Structure 1
């Protein structure tokens, strides 16, 4: 009997010691179920890319809509033709949520042929969802592409890729937010762009116009790891300006980005020209092929400005 009692005591001591050893090795902030680390750490770990599907110096993301087949074809036949020997990758980003089976099939057939559609099944393609679209694009890009810069443009923008590629060689490879900035834009209160939840300031925070802008990869990464906490505004370019507002980065205002709601004309210096018709794109491409210049003749419809970063945003943008 005494022997059995001693064996029982030894067993208890062994079991207690065994579990104490496990708990000690787990640490004071964890248990046997492995409590997860904070959100940011998890996101960084979850998004690590060891062997990305795609690699490029410049990733071009073109915002397009499901029905814009002709615009996508014209872009493929014009300015995207000039990327052949360059380290450039492109995708047309389309929100596919709530599309009917016929439209989905049409897009899938197009993608089989061209292999350049990024279909976002979590996003409805509408004006009110553009910021969500941008966020989902960045999340996908973070997981799937190794790149240095990303250029976001609309499918009514013409990009002079040769000139842009040269300009990129002079850009910082990190902390770069490059485009045509505005800091004095009034907050829209009516219409499809109305921002009913805006409270930050009586003006939009400084942002690069959405017809085209460039980000370095590290800034996209910062957006992705904080994606859960980002506010969504109607204007995707406004949202991006807000998302990047707290960071100490290189905000590079460049008049070679003709990216406002209306084109300023035609200049051979332009890198991106917004609000282009199909005919304008064809003409610019033919000019480049024939003369290596963008314009048949240069002209200016509207004045530009140099952003003054040393004054308050409301005084930033005095036109020439």
Structure 2
């Protein structure tokens, strides 16, 4: 006798409709996110790629979609040497650079805050948050120092960090080392470098004052630029590797000695008076009042000096009136 099988259980119509509706809703949601917000699924890769060249300004997914910009004719990296605990200074610098007017030359300027290894749990967490939010931190394998080889570590690591990240092209035309108490006007910097040689370049504020022919001189540490070929030379040469320091001299004097010993950096450009210290008292040659065609102002050691500097260069010019504040009505 043929064995009878019990009939398959029937799903109530209401449950089947509910399941179909849920599945359809999930498929529709997935389609919308893939079609309308495809970049959302790349966020993690953007955060993790902190060592790859990218602009200082972080992506804002509320901004309208813009057409891709043409390839820059000039690529500049500014490495701001600082220390892990200087959170407030880094935030101020980000705002100061973010709010500058757009460049008038076809240039790309990337800014990185250069630290040595982290030493506390607080640093590990707070610096990690900065990396996730801004992607502009570079951590070197060294102990934090001012005159014990950090400059060499910075320059010598760059070719390896950016190797292959630009499809075989040179990563940058120029690399700057800058202090975190220096304010650099990016458009003035880009326009100046755009007219300079792309090789064997050494540019900054030269010491001794206005004596660029002095072979024993050097560019001050406020901010100076090297062409990319010199950065690659530092990475591979025995001269800097074996002479990272030269007590009692500072690291910027040492770098000048590397170039001198190798007969390099012959395209030297002194940016006096366009690079200078914040004026407080008469200083021979390199400290004076603000001037319109400034490239960099140095020794901004406190908020008052930063405020006066940024005010002179009209950084708050875009502030719009609002019922939420009256910032020009100061209480005395």
CA contact (8 A) 1:74 1:278 kept: no
CA contact (8 A) 2:113 2:138 kept: yes
Q: Measure how far apart 1:117 and its partner are.
A: 0.8
2:242 alignment partner, one of 225, 229, 252: 229
- Give the aligned length: 219
Tell me by how many angstroms 1:266 deviates: 1.5
Alpha-carbon displacement from aligned partner over 1:233-258 (angstroms, at most 9, x marks no partner): 35121111111113242111121121
Q: Is the 8 A contact 1:149 1:215 kept in 2?
A: yes
Q: Tell me which moved more, 278-287 or 206-215.
A: 278-287
Where do residues 1-320 of structure 1 align in structure 2 (5 Å cutoff)? Answer: 53-54=52-53, 57-82=75-100, 86-96=107-117, 99-120=119-140, 122-129=141-148, 132-145=149-162, 146-183=171-208, 205-226=216-237, 227-233=240-246, 235-246=250-261, 247-248=263-264, 249-255=266-272, 256-258=274-276, 263-276=287-300, 277-286=302-311, 287-289=313-315
- In the alignment, the residues of structure 2 paired with residue 124 and residue 80 of structure 1 have an alpha-carbon distance, to the nearest angstrom, of 30
- Residues 291 and 167 of structure 1: CA distance in aligned 2, closer, same or farther (over 3 Å): farther
Return 5+ residue gaps in structure 2 as ranges.
1-50, 55-73, 163-170, 319-332
Q: Residues 259 and 143 (structure 1 numbering): CA distance in 2 closer, same or farther, change over 3 Å?
A: farther
Contact 2:207/2:220 (8 A) holds in 1: yes
Is the contact between residue 152 and residue 244 of structure 2 (CA under 8 Å) also seen in structure 1? no
* TM-score, scaled to structure 2: 0.59
Two-structure CA RMSD over aligned residues (Å): 2.8
Describe the superposition over 1:179-217 as per-residue Cα deviations: whole angstroms up to 9, x where unpaired: 111148xxxxxxxxxxxxxxxxxx993110001111111
Q: Note if contact 1:180-1:259 (Cα within 8 Å) is conserved in structure 2.
A: no
Alpha-carbon offset, residue 72 of structure 1:
0.6
What is the rounded CA distance, in whole Å, between the counterparts of 2:180 and 2:257 in structure 1?
Answer: 24
Q: Please give the alpha-carbon distance, in whole angstroms, between the structure 2 residues aligned to 1:236 and 1:96.
A: 19
TM-fit CA distance, 1:84: 6.0
Q: Secondary structure at the match of 1:87?
A: strand
- What TM-score does the superposition give when structure 1 sets the normalisation length? 0.61
Mapped contact 1:96–1:119 kept (Cα < 8 A): yes
Contact 1:209-1:259 at 8 Å conserved across structures:
no
Deviations 1:1-48 (A, max 9, x none): xxxxxxxxxxxxxxxxxxxxxxxxxxxxxxxxxxxxxxxxxxxxxxxx
